[in-house]
């Protein structure tokens, strides 16, 4: 498999974690979002949306959108599972993942931040306040869910799709200087996950295209 991504992309980070947890080999094809490499015509043939990640597979063609890729990985390579066996528990894990994927990340991705700066003339202080606002709202909800369902990890006592989403978003919060003191359970779950080799190897700083 070939994973098209960018070292700091939290969506590509999610997929790297899942691939590593499942022990699946893959090559990486980087696209520097800062230079607009993802808008190259050749890449648009793979992903018409010109976003990362994209996963090229041997048997299922080209996959886009990280939540869909993660669900494909879970179905195609079910061991070790990243969703619990209980139906109601799976709903909770998917809801925790969607809280990040749908309600935090889209408001703070590169396209949105660039629009705030270039089209709405937002100052850097205003951009930082925007980032902190949406991460804070999401983390407040996640903190409550982890308190209710976590047993070391975001949900239960083993890594799940919730952790695949939480850890990259925690990295983003740290990168942008968001205060994390109000979220002790969330931080503890993230730290436990990041201590695992699969998560550590997926960290942005460990990727071949990372700034050195």
Domains and CATH numbers, the chain: 2-80 (3.40.30.10), 87-198 (1.20.1050.10)
Residue-level pLDDT, tens digit, the chain, 212 residues: 999 999 999 999 999 999 999 999 999 999 999 999 999 999 999 999 999 999 999 888 999 999 999 999 999 999 999 999 999 999 999 999 999 999 999 999 999 999 999 999 999 999 999 999 999 999 999 999 999 999 999 999 999 999 999 999 999 999 999 999 999 999 999 999 999 999 999 999 999 999 98
- The separation between CA 43 and the C-alpha centre of its own chain, rounded to angstroms, equals 21
This model's pTM is above 0.85: yes
Q: According to the model, what pLDDT value does residue 212 have?
A: 86
Q: Which residue has the tokens 């696209």?
A: 31
| Cβ pair 135, 104 in contact under 8 A | yes
| Cβ pair 3, 28 in contact under 8 A | yes
**CB-based contacts of 129: which residues, under 8 Å, 6+ apart?**
none
What Rg, from alpha-carbon coordinates, does the chain have? 17
Report which of 203, 193, 211 is spatially closest to residue 82, judged by C-alpha positions.
193
End-to-end CA gap in the chain? 26
| Cβ pair 97, 154 in contact under 8 A | no
Query: b/e per residue, 96-120, with b = 16+ CB within 10 A?
Result: bbebbbeebbebbbeebbeebeeee
Tokens of 98: 């969607």
């Amino acid at each position: 498999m070939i994973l098209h991504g960018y070292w700091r992309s939290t969506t590509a980070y999610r997929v790297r974690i899942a691939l590593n947890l499942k022990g699946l080999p893959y090559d990486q094809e980087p696209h520097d979002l800062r230079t607009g490499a993802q808008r190259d015509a050749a890449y648009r043939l793979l992903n018409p949306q010109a976003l990362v990640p994209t996963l090229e597979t041997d048997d299922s063609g080209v996959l886009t959108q990280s939540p869909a890729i993660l669900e494909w990985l879970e179905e195609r390579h079910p061991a070790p599972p990243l969703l619990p066996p209980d139906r109601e528990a799976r709903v909770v894990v998917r809801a925790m993942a969607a809280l990040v994927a749908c309600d935090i990340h889209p408001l703070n991705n590169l396209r949105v931040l660039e629009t705030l700066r270039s089209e709405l003339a937002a100052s850097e202080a205003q951009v930082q306040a925007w980032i902190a606002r949406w991460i804070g709202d999401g983390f407040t909800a996640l903190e409550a869910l982890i308190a209710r369902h976590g047993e070391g990890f975001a949900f239960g006592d083993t890594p799940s799709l919730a952790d695949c989403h939480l850890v990259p978003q925690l990295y983003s919060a740290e990168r942008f200087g968001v205060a994390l003191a109000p979220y002790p359970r969330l931080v503890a779950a993230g730290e436990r996950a990041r201590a695992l080799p699969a998560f550590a190897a997926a960290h942005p700083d460990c990727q071949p295209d990372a700034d050195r």
